[in-house]
Amino acid sequence: MLRFLTAGESHGPEITAILEGMPAGVPISADQIDHDLARRQRGYGSGGRMKIERDHVRITAGVMAGRTTGAPIALVVRNLDYEKWRDRDIEPMTIPRPGHADLTGAVKYGYRELRLALERASARETTMRVAVGAVCRAFLAEFGIAVGGYVVSIGDVALPERLRATSPSPEVYRERFARAEESDVRCYDAATAEAMRARIRMTMDQRDTLGGVIEVAALGLPPGLGSHVHWDRRLSARLAQAVMSIHAVKGVEIGDGFAEALLPGTRAQDELYLDGTAIRQRTNHAGGLEGGITNGAPLVLRAALKPIATTLNPLNSVDLASGAEVKTRYERSDFCQVPRAVPIVEAMVCFVLADALIEKLGGDSLEEMRGRFAALRRLRLEDLPVDNVPWRFGYQDA
């Protein structure tokens, strides 16, 4: 339904995205997209590149008079750093950094110069994911759906358990989003944020890098997005793939995920109760997804990011030119990318949710979709009539 491609190298002239399948009529401006691009540029622990770039999108197709037309949307961001690279003789890169795509890119594509892998594997590409995600976010907002996120841990510094419980209440998440937005490590608890900052500072002093865990929540989703009928239509699986594709993400968890694996079944489910005719849950261990389908509770997802592979302290590697065992050479990079990566995870979640909503409602124009959205079944007794009579499978025997 909805799809996008990105193109561009980290130090090439510009990076590009084409988003296809967005319905007509969605109001969107470059300023709105730039807002999210700026969020991606901020964060304690960033490297030198973010002092050079001022990411600004140009919308060059698919949006006229401030609204999407249903045609492919083309987005372009300039790499200001390109000016430094364009006429330069570039040093050969022959020593792969463990953990980056230098070695695997060369083995896959037969590169005789490792920088060719670096240029495309760089997380600079996530700029365009955030741009695409901002368009999807604007679309979701038309239906009252909001996506936000924050950092739950950096290295071994984590929000205390009692402050980060998965909740069925959208209000809890709204408050977390707002507070995290004020923090340069994107953490909603001031004491934890301070400890995270100190941990990042220490890591920088130690010439090292640090990963962490990001949590993203989507609020206002209707129940019934995704499907249980095929592995590739389960919304949980689609989200996991999208988030797993982000640079340095090595784990994705939905709801209480790994913690649920430790509990007996009676404590791991979200029991139902009636509020008038509305069917509700007091807990949200499932993170808003049951059977790969949204249940209307906040959709909660976590991504684990490994520390960036480029470290100031060298690592053992092999020089492919000399055939000798050598130490890595430093390339400019971030010390801790985790705070900056929150809008990237949000963007991928926005994209998958926009796709799922379009799939549910049909996606030619916003106008058509509004009526269908209003008519969606909700978790109410009156929306869920059951026959309550015995029945038979009715298959024919072989």
DSSP code per residue over 198-240:
HHHHHHHHTT----EEEEEEEESPPTT-B-SSSGGG-HHHHHH
Q: What is the CA radius of gyration of the chain?
A: 23
C-alpha count within 13 angstroms, C-beta hemisphere, residue 78? 9
Instruction: Point out which residues pair with 304 in neighbouring strands.
Output: 213, 251
Which residue among 185, 308, 348, 366 contacts ligand EPS (CB under 6 A)?
308
Q: Is 49 in the site for ligand EPS (CB under 6 A)?
A: yes
Which residue among 332, 372, 377, 380 contacts ligand EPS (CB under 6 A)?
332
Which residue among 192, 203, 294, 310 contacts ligand EPS (CB under 6 A)?
310
Contact segment (CB under 6 A) with ligand EPS among 123-131, 165-173, 186-194, 231-239 equals 123-131
Q: Is 334 in the site for ligand EPS (CB under 6 A)?
A: yes
**Amino acid type, 49:** R
Which residue among 94, 122, 294, 295 contacts ligand EPS (CB under 6 A)?
122
Q: Helix or strand or coil: residue 390?
A: coil
As measured in angstroms, the least distance from the Cβ of 81 to ligand EPS is 6
Which residue among 333, 336, 347, 360 contacts ligand EPS (CB under 6 A)?
333
Q: Is 236 in the site for ligand EPS (CB under 6 A)?
A: no
Q: Is 185 in the site for ligand EPS (CB under 6 A)?
A: no
Q: Is 124 in the site for ligand EPS (CB under 6 A)?
A: yes
Containing 61, the helix (H) or strand (E) segment is strand 57-61
Q: Helix or strand or coil: residue 89?
A: coil
Cα distances from 95 to residues 91, 100, 105, 310, 319, in angstroms, run 12, 11, 13, 12, 5
Q: Is 47 in the site for ligand EPS (CB under 6 A)?
A: yes
Enumerate residues 6+ apart whose C-beta is below 8 A from 258: none
Geometric angle at alpha carbon 105, from 129 and 17, rounded to 5°: 20
As measured in angstroms, the least distance from the Cβ of 293 to ligand EPS is 34
Closer residue to ligand EPS, CB minimum distance, 43 or 226: 43
Binding residue count for ligand EPS, defined by CB under 6 A:
15
As measured in angstroms, the least distance from the Cβ of 47 to ligand EPS is 5
Q: Helix or strand or coil: residue 36?
A: helix
Could you list the residues that contact ligand EPS (CB under 6 A)? 10, 47, 49, 81, 122-124, 126-127, 308, 310, 332-334, 337
